[in-house]
Amino acid sequence: MGAALPETAPSRLFLSGNEAVALAVRDAGCRVAAAYPGTPATEILEELSRFPDLYTEWSVNEKVSLEVALGASMVGARAFCAMKHVGLNVAADALMTMTVTGTEGGLVIAVADDVGMSSSQNEQDSRFWARFAHLPLFEPADAQESYDMAREAFAVSERFRCPAIVRLTTRICHVKGRVVAGEREAHEPAGFVKDPQRWVMVPGHAKPRVALMYEREEALRAASAQSPFNLLVEGSDRRIGFVTSGPAYMHVRETFPDAPVFKLGQSYPLPLERLREFAAGVDQLLVVEETEPLVESELRAGGIACTGKDVLPRVGELSPDRLRPAVARLRGEEIPVTAQPRLVPQQVFPRPPTMCVACPHLGIYYTLAQLRNLTISGDIGCYTLGAGHPWNALDTCISMGASMGVALGMDKGRGQADAKKAVIAVIGDSTFMHMGMQGLLDITWNRGNVTVLLLDNRAVGMTGGQDNPGTGRDIHGESAQRVDFAKLCEALGVKKERIHTLDPYELPTLFKTLREEIKIPEPSVIITDRPCVLIDHYKPTQPYKVIADKCTGCANCIDVGCPAIHVTRRETQVKPSGKEVELAFVRIETSACTGCGLCVQPCAPEAIVHALPEHPVKFLHAKV
């Protein structure tokens, strides 16, 4: 998280795109802001939460956040919501009706596309939503434009009485730059005006408003043609002219500083006639857009000759190293080779992503890895890493909440090949509330034979430890009602005797409970209750160390997967039977150890002890 934004903004600041959007939202007189955490957009609401005169909330999912913003807009307040690209899919039901009802107070949606998939399961182009919903779209290229366009989006939203979308990308969200802020506006809500013909979207009311939506789109097109954010950058080398937007504009200018560029800032609706005029003044027109060929297709549909994805990749960022060879091919030139010194590749030990030291999910996956005949349906969160080494204990991961429905489908669709396999769904606390509750209800209603592992670590761990309804705290860290997951699961149809809450650090209890529940042919839920190790509410205890002379190299502790355990040497031992056994001798990085005790339990020779001898430990072995 960045530095706190000032109450009264000085003239110059050094901000990330996320911070710039947050400041713009505050300065535009916004009254209500809601979001669900999602990288790379998470920091926007975190920054907004620091302003005491602005209502902010972490909503249970993106659809709810957009509906909260719409409600505020209905009473005339300026409202804002933020989400990552896949979050807008969740909010789409509300979005596609809002485009018909329109809005009152300015309503801005910031959506952050993860171009290059740094932290996402897909690479989605959210510019489609502006076209699908017939809404204005802004695409900033740096932090200053993030501020300017977010403020302008509120004005455009109110002028045309519709939501406005600001499309960010990971590079814009997280790269910092200089921002000159403007004066803060005051905006008083006018109040709600009853109008069932507009706000009650039954078919009879919706049909007449569809025509108004199309009329609005034409007015938006005329406004886009005059927008100062759509600008022509002159250039002396007119062999190729570029049409681009967002961070791709920066790459184009860096790579071809002498080329003319038409920069799209308010990029939908397209200023088609201005682009036609620009195209007439260059020999060739190249559309540089991340990631889908939307502008390219629309230019061609408008009769404007251009090229784009036939020479440029559709995946990832369009950096200078990708632009140079593409333009060389277009010009019929030799593809340039970047001169670099010849380096001897270094053999680097692989560093795959893994869970944190003492993560409460470690015991879950250690236990799952010991069991056989399981099919494990996973979900979105830190625990998705259970698919990797050393556990290899996750078989699917599709989307938020999908573990439940996928598990039920596996149960109902199984044949002889899977008849003896237990079906397990693994889901985190925040993901369960986001989109998993409905899936559990579907499992109980349809009598599915699924065991659910609900991993309650009291945080939205993957995005930085934000609070949710299961933590007992709101976005400001103040006390709030906490969801009782056991009662909630019972209300969703799971029998009380099939609901268990346990400590994931207690491996014998976890193993025994899981082994028993998968044998029972009805829905069951095992709730693990330990806080994320990265939040303030986690309390570390005395660390452990390995007594080298006692370590037999059995590697049971390594199978837990804790990053604090390091292999010091490996040996191959030949048993009397002639079988070779690989041994791995270990040490514990005491400075990183939090004393969770997970590695102690499978250590048969009792080689792991507390680092301070004056505090002896009673060993608890998990015979699994």
Annotated binding site for [4Fe-4S] cluster: 551, 554, 557, 562, 593, 596, 599, 603
State both tokens at 459: 């945080």
Chain length of the chain: 624
Burial of 468 from C-beta contacts in 10 A (0-12 / 13-18 / 19+): buried
- Residues in contact with 397: Cβ distance below 8 Å, sequence separation at least 6, in sequence order: 121, 378, 379, 380, 384, 387, 403
**Side chain identity, residue 99:** T
The secondary structure of 506-559, three-state, reads: CHHHHHHHHHHHCCCCCCEEEEEECCCCCCCCCCCCCCEEECCCCCCCCCCCHH
Strand 565-574 relative to strand 580-588: parallel, antiparallel, unpaired? antiparallel
CA atoms within a 13 Å half-sphere pointing along the CA-CB vector of 492: 24
Residue 406 main-chain phi, psi, to 5 deg = -65, -40
Binding region: 551, 554, 557, 562, 593, 596, 599, 603
- Residues in contact with 443: Cβ distance below 8 Å, sequence separation at least 6, in sequence order: 404, 407, 408, 425, 450, 452, 523
Strand 107-113 relative to strand 55-58: parallel, antiparallel, unpaired? unpaired
DSSP 3-state of 591: coil
CB of 450 closer than 8 Å to CB of 418: no
Q: List b or e across 349-373, with b for residues whose CB sees 16 or more CB atoms inside 10 angstroms.
A: eeeeebbbbbbbbbbbbbbbbbbee
* Secondary element (H or E) of residue 266: strand 266-268
- Distance, CA of 167 to CA of 125 (rounded, Å): 9
Residue written as token pair 């014998």: 508
Please report how the helices 437-445 and 402-413 are oriented relative to each other, as an axis angle in degrees rounded to 10.
20
Residue 11 main-chain phi, psi, to 5 deg = -70, -30
Strand 261-264 relative to strand 231-233: parallel, antiparallel, unpaired? antiparallel
